[in-house]
Amino acid sequence: MKIVVPFKSVPDPYAGAGEAAKSVINPFDEIAIEEALRIRERGEASEIVGVTIGPPAVDEQIRSALAMGVDRALRIDDARALDPYAIARILRALIEKETPQVVLMGKQAIDDDSNQVGQMLAGLLGWPQATFVSKIELIENKTRLQCSRETDGGIEVIAITLPAIVTTDLRLNEPRYVSLPGLMKARKKPIEVFTCEQLGVSVAPLTTTLSTSRPPKRSGGTRVESVEELMVKLKQEAKVL
């Protein structure tokens, strides 16, 4: 069984305020890579292909994916500000070429916070989907997946027929650390680079960010010294009690 893991390079969410954040693999995609590795380590998958769409600068995150243990890594060279639907259409072309049984990916890129690509890809391919997944099991002789999903109402369990798209939630697993020797070894592995033309797709984003701004800052706080003082403030000043 082959698994394709699309991943995105994003600013490090743990960078301190004001610090210039270095790029990392989107945390949800790292969880997707980890899960693919575990499935392979259980002997249930034979090949894991990582794919990212971006400019040469993202090769560093591709190295991290290779160091974690993906078998092959592809980059679709595109430096444009693409939207989720454009990404989904490019990924569809790639998936049709690679013909995996499972596509494992993040539920959300933590920079654009869109939470769209996986579901769009599933729609384009006409494949079943399991989103926000916190547990995966291959069942029925590897023809279906049983997935637990984190929904607003609690955990939901569904079964989906392969080939299918799965998007990860935070509690699916804890990704392994990449060792330095692993990273060194990954430097020697090839990265396959394609253009959209080579894949036979021509897409343009349909959404454009016109401007960005900082949200109004919440001005903080009065310190209170005791529970009594807090109660007085909540009753008399805030009038919420």
Partner 1 sequence: MAETLVLIELDRQQVKRPSLHAIALARELGGEYALLILGSGLDEIAASLVAYGASAVVVADDPALAEPLADRYASVVADVARQRNVKTLLGTSSTFSKDILPRVAALLDAPMVTDVLALEKVDGANAYRRPINAGSMLATVKVDGDLRVLTARATAFEAPTADAAPPCPVESFKLDGAGLPDGMQFISREERISDRPDLTEARVVVSGGRPLKDPETFERLIGGLADALGGAVGATRAAVDAGMAPNDYQVGQTGKVVAPELYIAIGISGAIQHLAGIKDSRIIVAINKDPDAPIFQMATYGLVGDLHQIVPQLIEAIRQG
Ligand X SMILES: Nc1ncnc2c1ncn2[C@@H]1O[C@H](COP(=O)(O)O)[C@@H](O)[C@H]1O
Ligand Y SMILES: Cc1cc2nc3c(=O)[nH]c(=O)nc-3n(C[C@H](O)[C@H](O)[C@H](O)COP(=O)(O)OP(=O)(O)OC[C@H]3O[C@@H](n4cnc5c(N)ncnc54)[C@H](O)[C@@H]3O)c2cc1C
22-61 residues in contact with ligand Y (CB under 6 A) are: 27
| Size, binding site for ligand Y by CB under 6 A | 3
Q: Which is nearer to ligand Y, 13 or 123 (CB)?
A: 13
Q: How far is the CB of 50 from partner 1 (least distance, A)?
A: 22
Among 38, 59, 78, 134, binds partner 1 (CB under 8 A): 134
Q: Which is nearer to partner 1, 188 or 209 (CB)?
A: 209
Give ∠ CA 10-133-113 in degrees, rounded to 5: 30
User: Cα–Cα distance between 109 and 152 in angstroms, integer?
Assistant: 19
Query: Locate tokens 């955990």: which residue?
Result: 155
Among 44, 47, 101, 110, binds ligand Y (CB under 6 A): 110
| Strand-pair partners of 53 | 76
Contact status: 156 vs partner 1 (CB under 8 A): yes
Q: Which is nearer to ligand Y, 13 or 56 (CB)?
A: 13
User: Cα–Cα distance between 149 and 33 in angstroms, integer?
Assistant: 18
32-51 residues in contact with partner 1 (CB under 8 A) are: none
Q: Which is nearer to ligand Y, 27 or 163 (CB)?
A: 27
95-100 — which CB contacts under 8 Å span 24+ positions? 95/4, 95/121, 95/125, 96/125, 97/199, 98/2, 98/4, 98/49, 99/2, 99/163, 100/1, 100/2, 100/3, 100/4, 100/49, 100/163
Among 8, 40, 92, 149, binds ligand X (CB under 6 A): 8
Contact status: 230 vs ligand Y (CB under 6 A): no
Contact status: 99 vs partner 1 (CB under 8 A): no
